[in-house]
Amino acid sequence: MTSALPAMTSRVENEKELILERTFKAPRALVFEAFTAADHLRHWWGPRGWELTHCTVDLRPGGKWHYCMKCMDRAQGDFYGMESWGLGVYDEIVAPERLVYTDYFSDAAGEINADLPTTQATLIFEEVAGGTCVVSRSVYGSEGALKTVMDMGMLQGIGETWDRLAEHLAGPQAG
């Protein structure tokens, strides 16, 4: 019998910082690569029923990660066919330990949507017994900005996304 790793945990600090943690059964270098390589991200980024239809990664400080998630699940009703574009701009990369980027909602051309919250994300990849613990610290400009993304279902979405990552890391395509 295999022991299951704990699911994602979440907490809010300072009213505008969301901290997520989860341990994945995979080596740190592979988990870091899964977060930074388009060939990996295409397999797992986004909640269940959503697929990446566009994904480019320029992994360097000042480089960009531009992607589109599209809902492919008819059972998700009004979300079916919806696209959600995102743009990450890398600030700091210390492979395989740390990744810092600013995350924006964008459009297909990579133009930032100023009406939606911006996130300063720091991901720490820690080697632990049985795998890699990922600690994500997302800082928002205000308590209201954090509330906006929480009201959009972000916790459920990232929970499902990280479940998909765990499945991806366990599969043959991760190697």
* 35-89 pLDDT, tens digit each: 999 999 999 999 999 999 999 999 999 999 999 999 999 999 999 999 999 999 9
3-state percent helix, strand, coil for the chain, nearest multiple of 5: 30, 40, 30
Percent of the chain with pLDDT over 70: 95
What class, spelled out in words, does domain 9-174 have in CATH? alpha beta
Q: Which residues contact 138 (CB under 8 A, 6 or more apart)?
A: 17, 18, 19, 20, 103, 119, 120, 121, 122
pLDDT at 175: 64
* 131-142 pLDDT, tens digit each: 999 999 999 999
Q: What is the DSSP letter of 117?
A: -
| Residue 2 binned pLDDT confidence (cut-offs 50, 70, 90) | very low
pLDDT at 7: 86
Domain limits, the chain: 9-174
Model pTM score: 0.93
For the segment 10-25, the average pLDDT, to the nearest whole number, is 97
For the segment 94-98, the average pLDDT, to the nearest whole number, is 98
Other CB atoms within 10 Å distance of the CB of residue 38: 17
DSSP secondary structure, 21-71, as one string:
EEEESS-HHHHHHHHH-HHHHHHH-SSTTEEEEEEEE--STT-EEEEEEEE
